Structure 1
Amino acid sequence: MAASCGRFVPLVLLFFCLSAHAVDHSNFKTCDKSTFCKRQRELKPGQSPYRALLDTLELSNSRLTLQLINNNNKVRLLLELYRLQGNMTRVKINELKPLKPRFEVPDVLITDPLTEPLSVVTQDENGLVLSLGGDEQRLIVSAQPFRLDIVEGRQVLVSLNSRGLLAFEHLRARKDTKSESNLEQDSGQENVEQRADEKDGPIIEEEDKPGMWEEMFKSHSDSKPNGPTSISLDFSLPQVEHLYGIPEHADTLKLKNTDGSDPYRLYNLDVFQYELHNPMALYGSVPVLISHCTERTMGIFWLNAAETWVDISSNTAGKDSSEDAQTDVRWISESGIIDVFIMLGPKPTDVFTQYASLTGTQSFPPLSALAYHQCRWNYNDQEDVKAVDQGFDEHDIPYDFIWLDIEHTDGKRYFTWDSSKFPQPKDMLQGLMDKRRKLVAIVDPHIKVDSGYKIHNEIRSKNFYVKNKDGGDYEGWCWPGNSGYPDFTNPEMRAWWSSMFAYDQYEGSMENQYIWNDMNEPSVFNGPEVTMHKDALHGVWEHRDVHNLYGLYVQKATADGLIQRSGGVERPFVLTRAFFAGSQRYGAVWTGDNAAEWGHLKISIPMCLSLGLVGISFCGADVGGFFKHPSAELLVRWYQAGAYQPFFRAHAHLDTPRREPWLFGPEITALIREAVRQRYALLPNWYQLFYNAHRTGQPVMRPLWVEYPEDVTTFSIEDEYLLGKDLLVHPVTDEGSMGVTAYLPGKGEVWYDVHTFQKHDGSQSLFIPVTMSSIPVFQRGGSIICRKERIRRSSSCMENDPYTLYVALSLQGFADGELYIDDFHTFNFEKEKQFIHRHLSFSANTLSSRNLAPDSHFSTGSWIEKIVIIGGSRPSSVTLRNADGIESAVEFDFDSVTTVLTLRKPGVNAGADWTVLLR
């Protein structure tokens, strides 16, 4: 959210506002302005000072440790190697005896990863070879210079420090000052001990460089009390040309070569009107990179929450074949330790499973959260909310959530209501509940410093605020003016925050109110790079250590609060702007403050695809664009695209003209209505895909190469995508478009246009003429997709409505799919096994429904009202056989032009066993 420029605002906000019309690059660092990045980037490949001290090797059943020494400064590091279950290797490198503990990221891994035995195969003075399980996979440790290679058979899968760019800035005492405390004196002696080993040779004194001990950025000082602490490690990936991941960036799906330009930056920042095709940091950071080639998919998870830069260098240009290709990746972080998980695939689905085993899966949202959301900064008052709600009914457009931005509060005091604009919030919420609709209210993590504000007083009295470097409460400017920032890294603080969502604490809230966490990078208008000072303190840790974790903790505490207020019964819905690895466990994200421009519509696809690849499936972009005012054509195209993205919300800036769907004339209203109705018809499919993502970690919205990993044509495609494996979507994202060219993958497969049922062969590029009503979507031959075609005012009104099955036959006359049903909003599917999960299959002219969860217990009032079989032939008769073996005739008709067989009212319960026979 950006500042409004049309109202009275404090002076600091006014300056902030005036600069918000485009990215002010002077507000944000490049690598050259980030001194640790500049220092690390100045290191030259091939000059590694590190060697492995093989005589220090210790091997337990599941862990190998080995000391490394820097030949120049003689500081020793501790290398830990683990073989993890599921074909993963973990590498940790820390100082052997640091002056004080270095930060290790907590709360991101869902458990201590399960290990598998390690064993030494061979060892000599040059290194050792470890078995990583099975006969083929080995880990080779080379001693001098230190290097790690993971090989399978004769193929090197990945090499660590092969370019010699491992760099570990050890904690040290400052040369030009005496120790300022007994602690420094004591630990300084320990540092001498770790280096004083005569056989290691003479110490080469290290030169202090600018920015090591303090750093200025514009008018902001970073005191750096611990001095230089940055770390770096390089990875080489032979035969790899394509890398993906490390969101969030407004850039292409395939990561670019950063030679000669800035690296990709991971540092959660509030960037207004962000630029496209730029590696600069945005609101969230997931330090996971995925490599892909025709032979293998792998992942690298760099578990570090500090500011991080990722350099990518590829030598593929001019190579005759992918066998000669190699891509090198270098990770650089400001502090912490090296803790990296190498996920060895080999298939894309394996990498998703491996990463999910580490950080968890996408939370399973209530069904309503997958429907349409209507938002604006801001709906003015209760009457405005009521009028907008009625507008949707009058124009026959379904929606589930209406949203309230910061203006609904009492002077930006979160957990409150403006008593003049929202005097009876429960009446408003009850009115929505009567229509089976819901509301989202914003609760941001900056707290107005005001002695008359209960939330502020309690946080201060409990000493829960982040501290400044001098030990006082850290304060900065945000929407309320002078603000304090709760220390969400403190579990006691998070528990207290969660308790504030109780109905007796958050006055006026009800069970159909959910929460939006914005500005949680954290955003500090008068801070360096519009965020918190790095030398602020979270207990014993500096903010530089934990920065990228802050947003995750805010969303976690909020989600926990919504769960607790219901006694652990109801699934929460929380949207966050800032995120990190593991944020998928707590709700949804969106791509931040975009603009009403065609380029921003286009970029929403690779941005969400990148998030899905690293576990965060629940992603969307502000439909219509947050800044500026879309043309009618752009608005329609954005609704059409948004209807086929996981999180579907329209949102707009305070200073833009109103843009509810009916304000552009009846023709535009009709087009938007149709797009939204297509979303609602597909909700059963969306729900089943999210259940699968929650259960398995597989992304909902995925690039084509995930399902067609050997088809090189798919590797760079980012203007179309798959939902699950069975729906291919190619939104129209060009102004004035008369057609799009879609690539339909899969040699020997067929795809059916979901609107016309026209059949197309796979493995071809297809030109599709489009009109303003066109949303090019194709169903894969061989799939069964469930829909509900009685569209009502909200998803909750459709819960017991009947299903229509769309059976798209493969060339072999086969199809299968799934149907998942539960109560759509509680945790009973997990706690009580109350759900229905059916496998639907068509083979040999027989369609059947089989129970995939015989231990579950749930019943539904929904039934099957229609079955549409695409790509088949006319039968002489159709018979339904129920679970008791009783047969009955089914009405049908056949369209010979489209080869569509429609079975009408088989009338069987959606949760029952049944078979349909075509004779």
Structure 2
Amino acid sequence: MRALDYLGILSLLLALPTTHSLKAHDFKTCSQSGFCRRGRALSARAKEAGAAWKSPYSVDPSSIAIASDQATFTASVKSSLYPEINFGLELRVHDDGVVRVRMDEVAGLRKRYDEAASWALIAEPTVSKDIKWTAGKKDIRAVYGKKKELELVVTYEPLRVALLRNGKEQVVLNGQGLLHMEHFRTKTPAVTQTEEPAPKEGEEVVADEAQAVMKAENPRAWFEGDKEDDYWEETFGSWTDSKPKGPESLSIDINFPNHGTVYGIPQHATRLALPTTTGESPFFSDPYRLYNADVFEYLASSPMSIYGSIPVLHAHSADSTVGMFHAVGSETWIDVGHASDKSTETHWISESGILDLFLMPGPTPEDIFRQYSRLTGTTVIPAHWSLGYHQCRWNYVSSDDVRTVQKRFDEEDMPVDVFWLDIEYAEEHKYFIWDKKNFPDPVDMINDVAALGRKMVVIIDPHLKRTSDYPVYQKASELGLLVKTKSESEYEGWCWSGSSAWIDFFNPSVWDWWKTLFKPRQLASGWSWTESTEDVHIWNDMNEPSVFNGPEITMPKDNIHYGGWEHRDVHNINGMLFSNLTSQAVAERSDTPKRPFVLTRAFYAGSQRFGAMWTGDNMGTWEHMAVGVKIVLSVNIGGMSFAGSDVGGFFGNPEPEMLVRWYQVGAFAPFFRAHAHIDTKRREPFLLDQPYKGIIRDVLRLRYTMLPIWYTAFRETSVTGLPVLRPHYVMFPKDQGGFNIDDQYFIGSSGLLVKPVTEKGATQATVYLPEDQVYYDYFNHFAYRGAAKGKEITVPAVLHQIPLFVRGGSIVPTRERPRRSSKAMKRDPFTLRVALSKAGTARGELYLDDGETYAHRQGQFVWREIVAEKPAKKARTLKIESRDLGAARPAEAVDGAVLKTFDPENEYAKSIADVRVEKVVVAGLSGKPTSVKVEGGDELVWDFTPGVAAADKKEGIASVLAVKDPKVLIAKDWAIIIEW
């Protein structure tokens, strides 16, 4: 019977039409979720009560205890509704100014889940040594910061926490009185609440008086509601959630009185600047939901949850940026509202867990990223090859199919670095086990791909086929490593493998065992993946987890994980542990650890430390192409820089124009992969007719020329936490004209500004320039000038054109020789594009290492600064100089490593000692040179094309100086002197 059911499920899935629509009834709205309904009802009662509303939570001043380090204090909190229940409050200030606010139920009937932060944080933060709390009659407060500009105020009654900068409130907790930690209780028969007494005849009762009467008669009903709403059991569709612990949700308002724009809380398909959900103006009527879910065919504009959840938010204004991170792993709904265009109110409603908030004071976006990355870590520098182009579909059907696809890429001179295999490579979807009928020679196939400098990625999903001939499942079951049902039996669900079980990655006993599976050699300790090599990397899909026959296509919330925690407590963290452990397993499978590549669909705060993500099962539509850009920007805000969307859309058969535009979008995302559903037509780029095939070939080659830019950007994010893709508010935080822009962005600190074209039939594009600076068209050096208050320009954007600009003042390093893969480029010479600012100067960086191992953490790298300056008293001279940065800034070397010393003559630098600069292109020179020399050397070979100014003389084609083969070495100091 199980086999029949399995085949039935698969036949339904494989029979999906190529035109899809979201099955919204599979997923809850707030009104269908008991705890969200209760939280929103609380907010509605507070709004109706107006000034009469008061939070029942207060601090007992006599309980305040200040730690000896002065950075921490604890206190008891009581609720006037339940004086017999005890809560504990703790506040601590970190050495970077971040404030941690924790509140938990003390000595309750049960323990609340309090381990979310332990999975997200890289270490316990260091507390400040410069804090001194002052306890008064009404509040306790601390003033701190380099200029004593920050103040933290905790008001006793009602409990209220405010962080201020220079006297202005930045973030306020419980300012609207929506804090409610539903305490654990014993189930009792429902009690009918006392109804509000009817007014006497002729007596007029105003709303405030009615509220007062209700509050006096039954304060609990006034605050909590007059009935138990899904406290102990909840039904959705055909599923019933038993809720054995009863109600335990957490509600709190977190408001930003002086910040009118908010970003973050990925992952949602919506604008970057989050629209309201509370009805003041368009957009949404439901809150944003954080609940990792397999929402294939997701809507292109919706607050619905999709695959990942990062509970981090930036609130921004022209004056400052403030951030917050809530370490909670359960399902969470977030309302966003704007009382005015200069303030934002948010209401967070979580199903379980404790209050564990990190308030990040900023005051700039750069500060927020640094503060957040100190908590949860940075995106690591990926393997260099993983920044190339990835070719995937569900599925390449055989070893010969893979070889043929590789051959066709080479025949068409299209670069590619990675070929992918989806679930059909595995026998009966038993991951790690090859289907020998179609893949009879897996190691030979992998080696054939690797022989041309390429890698393979294969899928490993978290569900294990429950069958006696699958050693991975058998061992996991024998060792007791699987998720259990509420009755403590092994959980059985249905996924691609049919009857399946799920490994419980919260169990420490899983961790070492999981790593052994990836060893490409036989182990004495048991089974391992011998039919694999170190050239195989991993795709972790379906790890929300996706369960075809589960509630909301996921695991029941009353399932049990290690430690007795319910799945409801850890749902949003669950998928992160799967990809994190897989990443560690791939890194440790060889004697010399190499950087792994692991792609994950589900993620949580901290996932950036272990790999890449993609935006899931998108559709081949223009709307999905456009919203994919916004989602990738949003997850970059959430700390995950290594992100991208499926080029072409997972579902559907995009027309050639759409496919070309999608390749242009993908080439300017950190993760660049084409992928397609099993029902779609084959759409590898070499299959297209001209001119589309030629345009995509040029796009792929452009991506490869720019790999040094991407790699250098990842070095920066690995140290600073600043995202690889930067929206305008990050680059220009005071420019209000850019706060809502999410269809163009900058790539790292490179100075590159890209405006992807995501509209059918477009022949031009509107681009916003945020400053009075020159911006050069990357391809033809046309110079556009912005304005002090921002300016829109219209640029050509026919099908083969990408609106791509170099900001004046930037130096961009590229490698211009077409190659079949990134490995073939490792010793190629460089071209330096010098885009002079209106002041006639420029700067750029280049970072290089072996791209594969962790030797860079021991100082094996080359990190150069290239500067174009006018020497003092030489107005008609430009000096372009290359300097070492490793020795200048060893403490921020790379990837979190701190080097006390750095040797510019390290072994890696020696290995590329003969790699040179083959061309220098200078745009915007104010006169024709009379001399171009390497400092101390002979005259160089160069060409100069004068600029052609437009009528207003502010714009036009810039002058271009091309210096041919100056014979300077990329890893050495040098200078080129230009005189005119």
Q: TM-score, normalised by structure 1?
A: 0.93
Q: How does 1:459-474 map to 2 (within 5 A)?
A: 459-474=476-491
Residue correspondence of structure 1 range 687-706 to structure 2 within 5 A: 687-706=711-730
Distance 1:402 1:384, change over 3 A: same
Q: Which residue does the alignment assign to 2:938? A: 888
2:81 corresponds to 1:72: yes
- The one of 186, 189, 197 equivalent to 1:173 is 186
Instruction: Write the distance in 1 (CA, Å) between the matches of 2:39 and 2:326.
Output: 17
Distance 1:426 1:596 in 2: 34
Decide which moves more: 422-431 or 761-770.
761-770
Q: Please name the residue that 2:150 is paired with.
A: 137
Q: Secondary structure at the match of 1:107?
A: helix
Residue of structure 2 equivalent to 1:847: 880
1:534 partnered with 2:557: yes
8 Å CA contact retained: 1:569, 1:828: no
Q: Who is 1:245 aligned against?
A: 264
In 2: Cα distance, 1:50 partner to 1:526 partner: 42
- Count how many residue pairs are aligned between Structure 1 and Structure 2: 877
Q: Name the amino acid aligned to 2:864.
A: R
Counterpart contact for 1:120–1:128, Cα < 8 Å? no
Q: For the residues of structure 2 that align with 1:700 and 1:210, how far apart are their CA atoms?
A: 45
Asked if residue 909 in structure 1 is aligned to residue 908 in structure 2, the reply is no
- State the SS of the aligned residue for 1:411: helix
Match of 1:879 in 2: 933
CA contact (8 A) 1:118 1:130 kept: no
Task: Report the counterpart of residue 734 of structure 2 in structure 1.
Answer: 710
Query: Cα distance, 1:204 vs. partner?
Result: 5.9
Deviations 1:381-437 (A, max 9, x none): 011001100010111100000100000111100011110111111111111111111
Deviation at 1:176, TM superposition (A): 4.4
Partner of 1:867: 920
Letter in 2 for 1:746: E
What is the aligned counterpart of 1:56 among 54, 59, 63? 63
**Offset of 1:217 from its aligned partner?**
1.1
Equivalent in the alignment of 1:187? none
C-alpha spacing 1:17/1:41, structure 2 compared with 1 (3 Å):
farther
Give the % identical residues.
42
Tell me what 2:315 maps to: 291
- Give the counterpart letter for 1:890 in structure 2: L
CA contact (8 A) 1:400 1:438 kept: yes
Q: Quick check: 2:321–2:362 contact (8 Å CA) kept in 1?
A: yes
* Alignment match of 1:10 (pick from 4, 7, 11): 7
- Say if 2:842 is the partner of 1:815: yes
Matched letter for residue 172 of structure 2: S
1:233-263 deviations in whole A, cap 9, x for unaligned?
1112112111000010111111011114110
Aligned to 1:637, the other structure's residue is in SS state helix
Query: Structure 1 residue 309: deviation in Å?
Result: 0.6
* 1:149 and 2:149 correspond: no
Uncovered stretches (5+) of structure 1, i.e. residues with no partner: 1-6, 178-201, 317-321
1:262 to 278, 286, 300: 286
Per the alignment, in what secondary structure is the counterpart of residue 123 of structure 2?
coil
* Equivalent of residue 838 in structure 1, options 843, 848, 864: 864
Native 8 Å contact 1:118 1:131 kept in 2? no
| Aligned equivalents of 2:124, 2:275: Cα separation in 1 | 34
1:491 pairs with 2:508:
yes
Residue number among 96, 121, 136 corresponding to 1:109 in the alignment: 121
Rounded Cα–Cα distance in structure 1 between residues aligned with 2:782 and 2:273: 32
Contact 1:83–1:132 (CA under 8 A) maintained in structure 2: no
C-alpha deviation, 1:695, in angstroms: 1.5
| Partner residue in 1 for 2:764 | 739
Residue 676 (structure 2) pairs with residue 652 (structure 1): yes
1:8, 1:214 → 2: CA distance?
Answer: 29
**Correspondences of 1:179-578 after superposition (within 5 Å):** 209-260=228-279, 261-316=285-340, 325-504=342-521, 505-539=528-562, 540-578=564-602
Q: Which amino acid aligns with 2:565?
A: W
- The 2-side partners of 1:637 and 1:400 are apart by 21
Whole-angstrom CA distance in 2 between matches of 1:8 and 1:662: 39
Return the offset for 1:495. Answer: 2.2
Q: Within 2, Cα distance between the matches of 1:244 and 1:715?
A: 10
Q: 1:145 to 1:805 in 2, by over 3 A?
A: same
- Contact kept, 8 Å, 1:412 with 1:479, in 2: the verdict is yes
Match for 1:852: what amino acid?
L
1:136-171 deviation line (CA, Å, top 9, x unaligned): 321112122111111223211111100000000111
Counterpart residue identity of residue 250, structure 2: I
Point out the more displaced range, 103-112 or 591-600: 103-112
CA distances 1:699-734 after superposition (whole Å, capped 9, x unpaired): 001101111111111111111111113110011110
Q: Which moved more, 1:794-803 or 1:737-746?
A: 737-746
Please give the alpha-carbon distance, in whole angstroms, between the structure 1 residues aligned to 2:665 and 2:173.
Answer: 41
Measure the CA separation in 2 of the matches of 1:680 and 1:17: 36
Q: Displacement of 1:568 after TM fit?
A: 4.7
The answer to whether the 8 A contact 2:103-2:354 is kept is yes
Q: Is the 8 A contact 1:646 1:700 kept in 2?
A: yes
Counterpart residue type for residue 768 of structure 2: Y
Per-residue deviation, 1:15: 5.1
Residue number in structure 2 paired with 1:3:
none
Q: CA deviation at 1:120?
A: 5.3
Structure 1: how far apart are the matches of 2:305 and 2:698?
36
Give the counterpart letter for 2:861 in structure 1. F
SS of corresponding position for 2:307: coil
User: Counterparts of 1:51 and 1:172 in 2: how far apart (Å)?
Assistant: 20
Match of 1:83 in 2: 93
Aligned to 1:792: 819
In the alignment, the residues of structure 1 paired with residue 812 and residue 602 of structure 2 have an alpha-carbon distance, to the nearest angstrom, of: 34
Task: Check 1:213–1:587 CA distance in 2 against 1; reply closer, same or farther (3 A cut).
Answer: same
Shift in alpha-carbon separation, 1:127–1:537, aligned structure 2, 3 A:
same
The counterpart of 1:899, out of the listed 940, 945, 959, is: 959
Q: TM-score, normalised by structure 2?
A: 0.88
Instruction: Describe the SS at the equivalent of 2:120.
Output: coil
- 8 A Cα contact 1:13 1:525, kept in partner: no
Distance in 2 (alpha carbons) for counterparts of 1:239 and 1:77: 30
Write out per-residue CA displacement over residues 100-122 of structure 1, whole angstroms, 9 at most, x where no aligned residue.
32212122100001111475564
Instruction: Render the CA deviation track for 1:7-37: whole Å, top value 9, x for unaligned.
Output: 9962244556678832111110011111001
| Contact kept in structure 1, 2:169 and 2:258, CA below 8 Å | no
Aligned equivalents of 2:295, 2:10: Cα separation in 1: 15
> 897-906 or 388-397: which moved more?
897-906
Contact 2:796 2:803 in 1 (8 A): no
The CA deviation at 1:203 is 10
Gaps of 5+ in 2: 47-52, 191-217, 280-284, 522-527, 871-877, 888-901, 948-957
Instruction: Give 1:769 shift.
Output: 2.0
Separation in 1, partners of 2:855, 2:109: 50
